[in-house]
Structure 1
Amino acid sequence: MKSRLVLLACCLALLSSCGQGDKGTGKAPEFAVIEAKTTTANLTNSYPATIKGKQDVEIRPMVSGFITKLHVDEGATVRKGQVLFSIDPVQYQAAVNSAKAAVETAKAAVNTQELTVNNKRELNKKNIISDYDLQMAENQLAQTKAQLAQANAQLVNAKNNLSYTSVTSPSDGVVGSIPYRVGSLVSPSVASPLTTVADISEMYAYFSMTERQLLSQIREGGSTKEILEKMPDVQLQLIDGTMYADSGRVETISGVIDQTTGSVTMRALFPNKHNVLRSGSTGNVVFPNPLHDVIMIPQSATTEIQDKQFVFVLQPDNTLKNTEVKVFSLDDGKYYYVTEGLKAGEKIVIEGVQNLKDGQSITPITPAEKEAEYQKALKDQKEGNIQTAFQ
């Protein structure tokens, strides 16, 4: 056990001297460097989104009564006009029958009064009755006709109420939760709807972006239609982190910025051919933000001082110059994208930058050479060659 501890101590001592150079020979320490090159970066901006069906319709009863039958279950796909619920129709069928009888009674009264008016007209021509009596008869006929029209209207209303006992879907879609079951008493004033039918053939993703972010998208200006047409296709990242297969388009931008949050609401439309998306789910709307001819450097090659990024640029005499660089606001967590301070062809140190100093001399090597040295050191350590493991 002691021998192993001694061996470990020797390894740490040798490792601590790695990169400090060969003091006996005066050789500058070796550090891996890379040449800055331009590339294209496919960056993205993500915005939290709430997903809703293109049309979410609350299904409410038009008449009161007990539910006698459920024709669908939760999650079922329905078509426009399909029956969802049946409400007890007995009282409404009786109302229809009563209204029909009232219509027949009113028709009979009109027929009777028409005979009376025709008779009085003949009598009036012969001066047997006065004009007053004729006018009274004609007024009575108009009244019976009005009563017939009223009876017909009541019949239409009764038939409508009877039809409302079959609650149908107003659109194609998917049935949501059903809080009321067979035997439940429902009415137009119930607090909760019978269910919700969501049209999910296409889905809306509602999201917000700040005023500054919006300006970056619409800086060129133009009408709202022109701005929307210029916007790129967007992607949808689902709650599990995967990307939705189909891309979408931004359809609307709110005309007013919320003074409380400083953000503007936007809406994107996504197709939903395979019913993967569901109303009420969440995700992220992803905007592409490509950068062309930009220099990409590892984040490990930078140091940060007072929110500024610096890199060590290799000079022709193998000394280092600590140089400030400006980087793009977006990054992928591994690399920065330099916008100012570094030119293509310049070489920068990509390791151990926390221990370097401005003007320090180094021996530059490539990352491949550094990796080869590291693998050799691991091999020597494994084989017990402590003296050569970390030279």
Structure 2
Amino acid sequence: MTFLRHVTPALALALAACGSQPPGAGGPGGPGGNAAPAVSVLAVREEPLSITAEFPGRTVAYETSDVRPQVDGLIQARLFTEGDFVRAGQPLYRIDPSPYQAQVMSARAALAKAQAAIASSEAQARRYGELVKINAISRQDYDNAVTSAGQARADVAAQQAALRTAQINLARTTIRAPISGRIGRSLTTTGGLVSAAQTTALTTIQRIDPVYVDIPQSSADLLKLRRQISDGQLTKDGKAKVKLILEDGSTYALEGDLLFTDVTVDQATGSQVLRAVFPNPRSLLLPGMFVRAKLVQGTVQNAIAVPQQALTRDEHGNAVVMVVGAQNKVEPRQVQTGGTQGDKWIVTSGLRSGDKVIVEGGMMLQPGMPVNPQPWNPNAAAGQAPAQAQGQGQGQGK
């Protein structure tokens, strides 16, 4: 009993000290425990937004020419280096010209013979013309002489054509490049026998500066795009520009122009081909490469875009965003979207310029709950700003 009499006053003093602590100094019921949660907000605004889409594509040579012989013969020499750049008209192969040189000589001799015959027949026709006037010869003999002179002139023309054909065939014994471009490997060697009727090409030349990129796109997507343009939802600004992402993930330095959309839909895939052209001065793009093309499809003039994490769905599947309203209280807002652009939703209705949309920290919020809005920093780690603000509010109550 004596021990209890001594201890009880001490406990009473301690309890009195605890009871004298001012409210709000850090206890659960103080203001520090009821601090408004911090959220990251974005003040949206209307502005023009370019709508881009990314599609797979393949590079295609601007021009392609298979080199084939136009006369028969043996290859005497190959006059180019495989893989080099060749210019139009540059000699590539030489076929043995001897048979064609002989044909040219024969055609020249036949022409000379025809020209000699025409002189004699025309002289005879002139003499008969004088004789028929005095009835020294019959009219039939004169007509025959005129006909012979005409036939001689026709023979000269035929031999001139034969000589020209022989000269053309002789010139074709030197096979020349039909276009300028990169030449591939040779499929024949010196001593090989070639024919004008063969289907196998001797080599192939491809022009790759500039270069085409063929981009397949769903015909349904193209139809939707045309409707949006016709309805005024999108506007087209001149010729569409295209950017390329290469196979290693890097972006091609030069932009291309969209040339046309194929008028035929592939029945197997339901797609149409869009063709773009790109400058290729360093031959970085080679035919057959797989690329990804970023295409600017149009511009939404008064677009509102919100980050994708700011938009959720209610139990009915409607798109909803949380907005900081009057007195910093949470307001749910149902919106309509027009698709995505990059990492953002395009909002077509439900928001106005100046609305403060909650981007981070809104998972556990209820309508009407007061919050502490903080500017959203897209470069900061997710949830970093709200966590720091909440920590500061809690620290004030300790």
Aligned partner of 2:341 among 331, 336, 352: 331
Distance of 1:154 and 1:181 partners within structure 2: 32
The residue that corresponds to 1:45 in the other structure is 53
The one-letter amino acid paired with 1:301 is A
Aligned partner of 1:70 among 58, 64, 78: 78
Count, aligned residues: 352
Aligned partner of 1:311 among 321, 334, 338: 321
| Stretches of structure 1 lacking an aligned partner (at least 5 in a row) | 1-21, 222-226, 379-387
1:32 aligns with 2:45: no
What TM-score comes out, normalization by structure 1 length?
0.72
Contact kept? 1:34, 1:348, Cα under 8 Å: yes
**Structure number with bigger Rg:** 2
Distance of 2:113 and 2:231 partners within structure 1: 74
The residue that corresponds to 1:215 in the other structure is 226
Contact kept? 1:311, 1:323, Cα under 8 Å: yes
The one-letter amino acid paired with 1:34 is V
1:140 aligns with 2:145: no
The residue that corresponds to 1:190 in the other structure is 198
| Stretches of structure 2 lacking an aligned partner (at least 5 in a row) | 1-26
* 1:228–1:361 distance in 2 versus 1, CA, 3 Å: closer
Distance of 2:56 and 2:224 partners within structure 1: 14
After the TM superposition, which of the residue ranges 202-211 and 368-377 deviates more from structure 2? Answer: 368-377
The one-letter amino acid paired with 2:54 is S
SS at match of 2:56: strand
> How many Å apart are 1:84 and its aligned residue?
2.0
Distance of 1:45 and 1:72 partners within structure 2: 44
The one-letter amino acid paired with 2:347 is V
1:202 aligns with 2:210: yes
1:248 aligns with 2:259: no
SS at match of 1:55: strand
Post-superposition Cα deviations, 1:348-384, rounded to whole Å, max 9, x if no partner, equal 4444655x36448465363689637868999xxxxxx
> How many Å apart are 1:102 and its aligned residue?
1.5
The residue that corresponds to 1:163 in the other structure is 171
* 1:109–1:29 distance in 2 versus 1, CA, 3 Å: same
Contact kept? 2:40, 2:386, Cα under 8 Å: no
Contact kept? 1:33, 1:347, Cα under 8 Å: no
The one-letter amino acid paired with 2:37 is E
* 1:232–1:28 distance in 2 versus 1, CA, 3 Å: same
* 1:295–1:111 distance in 2 versus 1, CA, 3 Å: closer
Contact kept? 1:36, 1:295, Cα under 8 Å: no
Superposition map of 1:351-366 within 5 A: 351=360, 356=364, 358-359=366-367, 361=369, 363-364=371-372, 366=374
The residue that corresponds to 2:349 in the other structure is 340
Post-superposition Cα deviations, 1:239-264, rounded to whole Å, max 9, x if no partner, equal 44433333333333445556665544
The one-letter amino acid paired with 2:141 is D
The residue that corresponds to 1:267 in the other structure is 275
Contact kept? 1:28, 1:362, Cα under 8 Å: no
Identity between Structure 1 and Structure 2 (%):
30
